[in-house]
Structure 1
Amino acid sequence: MVNRMDRTGLRAVPAEVLAAGDLLAVPDGGEPAEVAAVAVEDDDFGVPALVVATLANGRRLRLATGSMAYLEPAGSDLGGSAVAADHGSAEELVAQTAQAHPDNPALQELAGRLARGINLKSGSNLQDLHQFALTLLVDEGDTAASLTIADLLADLPFDGNFGRWKWIEGGLAIAAYLTRHDDVRSARYSTAIRAADDAEADPLRAKTAAMYRQRQLNEPNVYDPEILRASGAGRSEVERDWRVLRIGVLLYLRAHGGSETLSRDILERRIAAELAAVAALNAQLGE
């Protein structure tokens, strides 16, 4: 069982942040295996319930949302990718952005994966781009670079694939927040984020989907129990990871126009408070 594994030297992260390329500890205590793909399965009410990680060897591992996954730290080296990438390409943009933040290992790792080639039809590449933009915002406060990367996602249309769309949606949410002082531009992102809302052609299914969506908007999962547990246990790194997930939820809610229970103004104040909380935790972890 997982709780009997030797986790020495492994990093605990929320299951929801697993990404392709991560080296994931397996339940039987064997060598950590590379994650090839990640999917999230909803329960019957449309609420995320399981994170399904497909390993490079074809094995599938199921983790409950809200649980912890254990990763082996993986170093990466951009290896001059900015030079190798085509001029003006997404790969070059990512590499040059990462080079501006050489002391951020998360950005270096993401850029190392993306330097192999960015396929905007690949869910794992879209996930990495979203995480890259979010890390620039949350950890570095580099709003200009974060918006530039988010725009790589925001330009992509909804094609019916909800697995890919959630990362595009995340990019749109970041972009809408970072352009909040430009009403016209921010509104374009907010309109685009609702593209999937009316995708269901069947009237009954569309009505059911709208009901679930409104419930999720009114009663969003912002990881209160997980954050409280991590804070109470003094696990600052775990608390930080849960707060970053919370920021993603709040950004989405804001871009969607808020809800019946959370206005856009309230959401903006909460986002600012969470960014400050993560900055404080980062400073604490860096001491």
Structure 2
Amino acid sequence: MTENPAARHYSKQQAGSLTTGDQLLLPDGERTAEILQVEFEPDDFGTPAVVLATLTGGGTIRIAAGSSVKILNTTVVDTTHDAEVPLPLAVVPSEEVEAAPEAPAVVVPPLPPIPPAVSGPSAEELARIPAPKGTPEAVVAAAAEAHPDDVGVLLLADKLAKGINFKSGSCLKDLSDLAHELFITLKDPDGALAVADLLNVLPFDGNPGRWASVEASLALSSYICRQDRQEERAEVYEKLLRTPETQETDAFKARMNSKLRQRSLNEPNLYDKEIFRSIDNSNHEAEREWRLLRLESLLFLRAHGGSETIGLGELQRRISNELEAVRA
């Protein structure tokens, strides 16, 4: 038997599973480089689209997330010629035999961990959300009757009185705005929950625009219930808020979505620059609008239990500060 020297060969691997230390075959097909860091760049819908592989020698390689790349492996290839008759070998004393160096083991990096499955609320848990008192239009009318002097509520109620279409993104936005107006401006948590629950029970239909209004409503409802010590009801809203996380069945996409989601929670947009600019320009109306957006972001974080960068205690303090600022 004859043994050839260790030969270079490559194994195909999905770009999304690249990890630090992999020896990546470069686009020229001749050179390899070790990966120093792997990041993911999402598309406009938040789905991982491009893998950014930073190389130890400098530079970054951009790879489509779903494509295959080649990773360098080292193997020893043995060939045996059956037709050859082996010649007798001279016996060499064992003490003169030097141990041949072992070929380095091929280390296969593990895939990123699969995020834990998130289950939606059960029928028993959904029963904790009270059924609306009458039609959706009647719920909106009741909110308007409770606050006949508030222009914001009356304007929204007038738009919704013509008929509530739950497939209309603008209609869902008006309902969400009404719930926020009732709680934030008028300090009416019961009225806010009654309106918000019209949205809270809507299923996730895959449309990010429509879901944004439902998401904001669920986050607001969770906060109101937490403040009112309705912990079990708040947990239902928080489970519903995570509904999109249960939709992805592809393991790779689920990993990437989980990573991007955690990054967005760790680095939320709190509109600091916009708020400071409004303060510098003495534009109180613009400042309030930006603070309302910041408040929505904080409520969303609170419904997720905080993040790796902002704990629940700090979130509670910031939410209280923003409520005080926009109610002033």
Normalization by structure 2: what TM-score?
A: 0.58
Which residue of 2 is the match for residue 188 of structure 1? 236
* Cα distance in 1 for residues equivalent to 2:135 and 2:179: 16
Are 1:268 and 2:287 matched, yes or no? no
Question: Highest relative contact order (Cα 8 Å, sep 6+), 1 or 2?
Answer: 2
Which residue of 2 is the match for residue 256 of structure 1? 304
SS in structure 2 at match of 1:156: coil
- Mapping of residues 220-231 of structure 1, within 5 Å: 220-231=268-279
- Mapping of residues 35-74 of structure 1, within 5 Å: 44=44, 46=46
Give the helix-richer structure, 1 or 2.
1
Are 1:245 and 2:305 matched, yes or no? no
Q: Which amino acid aligns with 2:200?
A: A
How far 1:44 moved relative to its partner? 4.7
How far 1:99 moved relative to its partner? 2.5
Which residue of 1 is the match for residue 261 of structure 2? 213
* Cα distance in 1 for residues equivalent to 2:142 and 2:233: 26
How far 1:104 moved relative to its partner? 2.1
Which residue of 2 is the match for residue 94 of structure 1? 140
- Mapping of residues 98-113 of structure 1, within 5 Å: 98-113=144-159
8 Å contact from structure 1 (residues 118, 125) kept in 2:
yes
* Cα distance in 1 for residues equivalent to 2:141 and 2:43: 38
SS in structure 2 at match of 1:165: helix
* Cα distance in 2 for residues equivalent to 1:101 and 1:227: 29
Deviations 1:141-160 (A, max 9, x none): 11111111111111112222
* Cα distance in 2 for residues equivalent to 1:226 and 1:103: 31
How far 1:175 moved relative to its partner? 0.8
Are 1:204 and 2:252 matched, yes or no? yes
- Mapping of residues 63-212 of structure 1, within 5 Å: 88-180=134-226, 181-212=229-260
Q: Percent identity?
A: 47
* Cα distance in 2 for residues equivalent to 1:221 and 1:158: 24
* Cα distance in 1 for residues equivalent to 2:154 and 2:293: 20
* Cα distance in 2 for residues equivalent to 1:208 and 1:109: 42
8 Å contact from structure 1 (residues 138, 244) kept in 2:
no
Matched residue count: 200
- Going from structure 1 to structure 2, the CA distance change for 1:272 and 1:157 (only over 3 Å counts) comes to same
Unaligned 5+ runs, structure 1? 1-41, 48-86, 281-287
* Cα distance in 1 for residues equivalent to 2:285 and 2:164: 29
Moved over 4 A (4+): 42-45
Tell me whether 93-102 or 125-134 shows the greater mean CA deviation: 93-102
Which residue of 2 is the match for residue 63 of structure 1? none
Q: Which amino acid aligns with 1:102?
A: P
8 Å contact from structure 1 (residues 130, 150) kept in 2:
yes
* Cα distance in 1 for residues equivalent to 2:185 and 2:309: 29
Unaligned 5+ runs, structure 2? 1-41, 48-132
Tell me whether 193-202 or 270-279 shows the greater mean CA deviation: 193-202
How far 1:133 moved relative to its partner? 0.3
How far 1:177 moved relative to its partner? 0.5
- Going from structure 1 to structure 2, the CA distance change for 1:145 and 1:162 (only over 3 Å counts) comes to same
Deviations 1:20-49 (A, max 9, x none): xxxxxxxxxxxxxxxxxxxxxx965839xx
SS in structure 2 at match of 1:196: helix
Q: Which amino acid aligns with 2:217?
A: G
* Cα distance in 1 for residues equivalent to 2:204 and 2:45: 23
Point out the structure with max Rg over C-alpha: 2
* Cα distance in 2 for residues equivalent to 1:92 and 1:153: 15
- Going from structure 1 to structure 2, the CA distance change for 1:43 and 1:232 (only over 3 Å counts) comes to farther
Which residue of 2 is the match for residue 21 of structure 1? none
* Cα distance in 1 for residues equivalent to 2:140 and 2:315: 29
* Cα distance in 1 for residues equivalent to 2:149 and 2:46: 39
* Cα distance in 2 for residues equivalent to 1:103 and 1:242: 25
- Mapping of residues 9-20 of structure 1, within 5 Å: none
SS in structure 1 at match of 2:244: coil
